[in-house]
Amino acid sequence: MQTEERPTPANAPVLHTQESAISRTGQHHIARLPKHSRAAAAQRLNTIPEQPRRGIYYPVPHRLPQPTGWRTRRYLKRKNLHASNSRYAAIDRISTQFAMLPMAFGAMIFVLISATILISMTAIINATQQRYGQQVTTLEDILPKDSLKMYDAHGTLIYQMLNQGLQTTVPLEHISPYLQEAEISIEDHSFMTNPGYDITGIVRAALSDLTSGHIVAGGSTITQQLIKNAIVGNQDTAARKLQEIVLAPTITRYYTKQQILSMYLNTTYYGEQAYGADAAAFTYFSLQDTSTATAASQLDIAQAAMLAGIPSAPIGRDPFLHPHAAFLRVQDVLNQMYLQGYITHAQQLAAIKEVSQPNFLHRGIIHNDLAPHFVNYAIGELAQELHVKPDELARAGLVVSTTLDLPLQNQILKIAQQHIAVLAQPHHMSNAAEVLIDYHNGAIRVLLGNINPSQDDFDVATQGYRQPGSSFKPFIYATAFEHGISPGTVVNDEPLVVPLCCGLPPYIPHNYDLRYHGLITYRYALQNSFNIPAVKLLMQTGVDASLHTAQAMGITSYEGTPNYTMVLGSLSVHLLDETSAYGAFANGGVRIPPHAIDSVRDISGHVIFRFPVQGTRVLTKQVAYMITDVLSDNNARTYEFGKCSSLYLYSNTQTQCYQGNPGLVRPAAVKTGTSNDFRDNWTVGYTSDYVMGVWAGNNDNSAMVNITGVDGAAPIWHDSLLLAEKGKPVTAFANPGGLVKRTVSYGGVVTTDWYLH
């Protein structure tokens, strides 16, 4: 067996053995090394034969187990695989980051949104409870109040304040059950059982809105609508809707379903400025409240269905404006009432037939023109007494009882119209105003600002300033009587020149008849309305003192300059003021301010205001009686007016009176007045029951033609006051005592009259 001789590697070091060596001269020399040296040991290593390999060796060509270059290819493959794995790992990391990050971000946003919504809802709930909690507990008090209603002294409705709509609250039991069922059927079928809101209704409405692309259904329950109308307002926002849902359960806990339904039916808007069932019943069907039934209680099925369909669209389903839309809605309401078991199919068909009739609707008409001048004055008085603006009274929920006697006023109006019709053409007189007051308590029973109250807004009695003429004289005479002058005191009626200061020309008064009457009593001078004695009396009493008397008695305002001419009526005053002031004469010197408001109640009947009948003494009883005694002395005025003038309150005709048959005569104290150029006629006087003032003239203040107070205003006064006194006992004016009747001679003129004791 041959052994394979292993070649010496090319880079193996050449060692010089002991046996041979090559000298520098080219000859071989054997190198001898120590036997035990390391170099020798190293040389011996090469002489040890190689151990044979196990197995049999065949000296034939062998195929390599792997192709040539496989290591390189494996290396490159592994290198590429490593690079690929690195790239895939990087891609996986990036993919994981981009896949998980949105999910994490989305989850975080969801959590944040949920938390925000939860926090916001909690905040809204707390804020809503804090903001509206008090209103919930006092809901009945903050509901829109009824429109103001005004009644005359007999309980007749004379006015309803409509500038903020018409509303009349009635108990639920006085509202037709058909209307209650119709409203529940179409607005909130689960009303009696739901907690104030209906989730299914809200979802259903939301789906309808989304499907239609606009709001077609609200989903609000009756409770939510009540909250919207009374508390949170009607803004079309999600916050408002959420506030409704938050407050609804609270409302349901505080109030019974009957209370909630009552509040809703009494305040919801039915269009045509009608709020609540009672107002709607009147507005659309002219149903009237009576002593036994309310308008709302008289609604039948068809009428109830018509009304129930209106609140969801008060304009769009107004039967007067959009009858077809209203009819379709009525069908929906009736169908729901039938499906929910409130009515039978026969009743449904009968109601549809009724609605289809041409006379189904009857528009209710409110008559606010029954006493417009009185009403305007009463509203001003009420606003002043309650310290509010007149417009604030519109929905104040007040029931006002007034002092007006409407039947009497209507009769007196006809009297005035008849007299003016007779005097209009010959005397250029077109208008008159009248005031009748019960001076015992100041109650205004009649207030006519003109003879066409429904056509003419101007109220001469309370708004117009007119010159009263000689009817102003009793205030000056009363001032003089307070200072001890007697009606029997004599005065010389003669030419008079009153010097004025500051370079002004003197004032020279004249009597209306342009005559002088010599020595006469003040009684005679006043009753025949002579001017010069009155001016002399004013010069004695003083302008300021006499004006103060007039103001204390009731002349609250005037136009003009107070001076010596005011005794002749140069100051312009209100008819109401002068009439009331004469009432102080009649009332024994005690002034009670005139008033139109008797009492004011809320809708529950509680009295919140009653006029306090408190008088103020402005004259002594004795002075007041002396004025009354003079003004009621028909004999003293016979010289100027005749014994059967209109100032004499007899019951028969004037012709019968002159024939000696005056009939029943009522004691009456009265004074006339005529202003310059016949622009104003006045007659003011009183009996033991009433004081009445009448003005006659023209609205434009143009002059009348040759007519004085006794011919113009006095006949109206006479007939009107007789009418007011009809059926009342005849009572004479009572002497209060403290007076003494004396007979006195003044320069040959002997008089017998009253003097202060």
pTM: 0.81
Q: By percentage, how much of the chain surpasses pLDDT 70?
A: 88
Sign of CA dihedral 109, 115, 119, 125: positive
Residue labelled with tokens 């006379």: 359
Please compute the mean of the pLDDT values over residues 436-444 and round it to a whole number.
Answer: 98
Query: For the residues of 474-523, what is the DSSP string, one character each?
Result: HHHHHHHHHTT--TT-EEEE----B--STTPPPB----TTS---EEEEHH
Tell whether the model's pLDDT for residue 727 goes beyond 80: yes
Range list of H helices, 321-371: 323-339, 345-355
Please compute the mean of the pLDDT values over residues 584-601 and round it to a whole number.
Answer: 97
Q: Which pLDDT tens digit goes with each residue over 178-189? A: 999 999 999 999
CA distance 111 to 120: 14
Tell whether the model's pLDDT for residue 216 goes beyond 50: no
Range list of H helices, 564-620: 575-586
Residues 172, 261 contacting (CB under 8 angstroms): yes
Q: In the structure, what pLDDT confidence band is assigned to residue 434 with cuts at 50, 70 and 90?
A: very high
Q: Which amino acid is at 59?
A: P
pLDDT confidence of residue 248: 87
98 vs 132, more confident: 132
**Range with lowest mean pLDDT among 88-97, 506-515, 643-652, 718-727:** 88-97
Please compute the mean of the pLDDT values over residues 126-147 and round it to a whole number.
Answer: 84
Task: At 168, list the tokens.
Answer: 């009349």
Tell whether the model's pLDDT for residue 440 goes beyond 60: yes
167 vs 118, more confident: 167
CA distance 432 to 446: 13
**Roughly what angle, to the nearest 10 degrees, separates helices 301-308 and 345-355?**
70
Tell whether the model's pLDDT for residue 30 goes beyond 70: no
42 vs 591, more confident: 591
* C-alpha separations of 148 from 393, 396, 399, 687 in Å: 7, 6, 6, 35
Q: In the structure, what pLDDT confidence band is assigned to residue 218 with cuts at 50, 70 and 90?
A: low
Q: Which pLDDT tens digit goes with each residue over 550-579? A: 999 999 999 999 999 999 999 999 999 999
Residues 333, 186 contacting (CB under 8 angstroms): yes
Q: By percentage, how much of the chain surpasses pLDDT 90?
A: 70
**Roughly what angle, to the nearest 10 degrees, separates helices 473-482 and 531-541?**
50
Q: What is the mean pLDDT of the chain?
A: 89
Q: C-alpha angle 229/235/237, rounded to 5°?
A: 125
Tell whether the model's pLDDT for residue 50 goes beyond 80: no
297 Cβ contact partners less than 8 Å away, ≥ 6 residues apart: 170, 174, 175, 176
Tell whether the model's pLDDT for residue 295 goes beyond 80: yes
Please compute the mean of the pLDDT values over residues 696-702 and round it to a whole number.
Answer: 92
Q: In the structure, what pLDDT confidence band is assigned to residue 11 with cuts at 50, 70 and 90?
A: very low
Q: In the structure, what pLDDT confidence band is assigned to residue 46 with cuts at 50, 70 and 90?
A: low
Tell whether the model's pLDDT for residue 44 goes beyond 70: no
Q: Which pLDDT tens digit goes with each residue over 369-411? A: 999 999 999 999 999 999 999 999 999 999 999 999 999 999 9
* C-alpha separations of 551 from 444, 517, 554, 654 in Å: 19, 31, 5, 36
Question: What is the number of other CB atoms lying within 10 angstroms of the CB of residue 68?
Answer: 8
Q: Which helix (H) or strand (E) holds 261?
A: helix 257-267
Tell whether the model's pLDDT for residue 591 goes beyond 80: yes
Q: Which pLDDT tens digit goes with each residue over 628-639? A: 999 999 999 999
pLDDT confidence of residue 2: 41
pLDDT confidence of residue 40: 63
50 vs 388, more confident: 388
Tell whether the model's pLDDT for residue 715 goes beyond 90: yes
pLDDT confidence of residue 31: 56
Question: 466, exposed or middle or buried, with CB in 10 Å at 0-12, 13-18, 19+?
Answer: buried
